[in-house]
Structure 1
Amino acid sequence: MTAADPPPVGRAARLRLHRSLQVATHGADLLDRQLHLLRAELSDLRRAEAAARNAWERLVREAGLWELRGLLLSGENALRTASAVPPAEAAVAWEDTLGVRQPGRATVVQGTAAPSTAVPGNTALTHARTSYRAAVDAAARYGAASAAVRLVETRLRSTTVRVRALRRHRIPRLQQDLVTVESALEQSEHEDAVRRRWAARQTGPSPGR
């Protein structure tokens, strides 16, 4: 039945509309509760994202300062030696929360330098290498937290659209159809009663008996 179609008439139609209205109302209530939980989850995730971003930015600044000190002490050749390390690999554990599949804990496996790899030319560059590795760990955590926020935001928007469709369109339409059907049934029952009374009068005992 589309928005332009008239509602069906009859007791069976009334029963179907009652059931449909109950299902739609129950579904909207469930989605409302889910929205409440999603908003709370999103608030927690945004705080975690902000904390992860702050930690990452702080470690990057710290590593940059150590790098600058090492560069001033030993020059660019020492910097190239200190940066010659294998790349790191990040892994993310995915989890389901409130029906949303999102990244959870992020871990980074740092590359291990070969025994023959030259060590940094000064202590500042050693600190810079350590700080950059910590920054990579923080970047992985920040990336996972940011992705989780975006995924929950997407689910929150889609759930909000579904609730609005039920509350503003589906439920009012069912309610109006139910009113129409009940009004038609009431009118039909009234007309049936009138016909029965008229028929009873027509088939009653004749005046001569």
Structure 2
Amino acid sequence: MSGFRGGGSRAEKADVQRRLATATRGAQLLDRKERILQIAIKGMQEKADAARSTWQEQAARAALWLQRAAGLDGQDRIREAAPDETATVRLEWGGAMGISFPQGAECILPEPAPIGGSSALAYALATHREALQAAVEAASASRALLLVSRELAATRTRQRAVENRWIPSLQEQLAEIERKVAEQELEESLRLRWSAGLL
């Protein structure tokens, strides 16, 4: 943003007034965006907390059944039960207020291989699949919260810059222009009166 350089014309005054109106409107829009993002973050925080809690519960269940399966079936049988293919994740992206973030996630798990062994091994396999899906959902919710929180921080920074630097600078420029215009008008009035012999 360039500082005030001119001598004080009405055109300069109109230009600064226009820029000041734009800056004021920008600050209002940033304030509105900040309030909307705060509401969105509150909901996202609740979703992320619930997803994390679900994942922790599922992970604890999976760990318990894995421990039981290890005691009953041994590590070799557990390794044999692991699928050959890896799981993949599909994210559903959405957005609001110019931000793109995950709105959901699906964990696509490979078909389980036929296994022998105890029922503890079957439960360990099932609970690990559930825990993995819960982990993906928790990660998706956490990522969405992070992205929107970053946007909120950036919005606050922009709003402070507009309100604390840009608007005061334009107000100073406008005051200086108005002072110079008033001086010019006074000088012109005095010149006209002097030339008319009124002084």
Compute the TM-score of the two structures, normalised by the length of structure 2: 0.93
Report the alpha carbon displacement of residue 8 of structure 1 after superposing the two structures with TM. 4.6
Residue of 125, 131, 134 corresponding to 2:127: 131
Q: Taking every aligned residue pair, what percent have the same amino acid on both sides?
A: 31
Q: Which residue of 162, 168, 193 maps to 2:164? A: 168
When the two chains are superposed, the root-mean-square deviation of aligned CA atoms in Å is 1.6
Match of 2:147 in 1: 151
TM-score normalised by length of structure 1: 0.89
1:181 maps to amino acid? I
Cα deviation code 1:58-110 (max 9, x no counterpart): 11110111111122222223222322453211100111122110011101111
Aligned length: 198
Aligned residue in 2 for 1:97: 96
Show structure 1 runs of 4+ deviating over 3 A. 5-8
Partner of 1:14: 13
Contact 1:107–1:140 (CA under 8 A) maintained in structure 2: yes
Task: State how far apart, in whole Å, the 1-side matches of 2:180 and 2:60 are.
Answer: 75
1:172-187 aligned at under 5 Å gives the runs 172-187=168-183
Find the counterpart in structure 2 of residue 2 from structure 1. 2
Write the letter of the residue equivalent to 2:10.
R
Q: Which has the larger radius of gyration?
A: 1
Structure 2, unmatched stretches of 5+, are none
Q: Does 1:111 align with 2:107?
A: no
Corresponding residue for residue 138 of structure 2: 142
Residues 7 and 158 of structure 1: CA distance in aligned 2, closer, same or farther (over 3 Å): farther
Gaps of 5+ in 1: 203-209
Change (3 A) 1:62 1:82: same
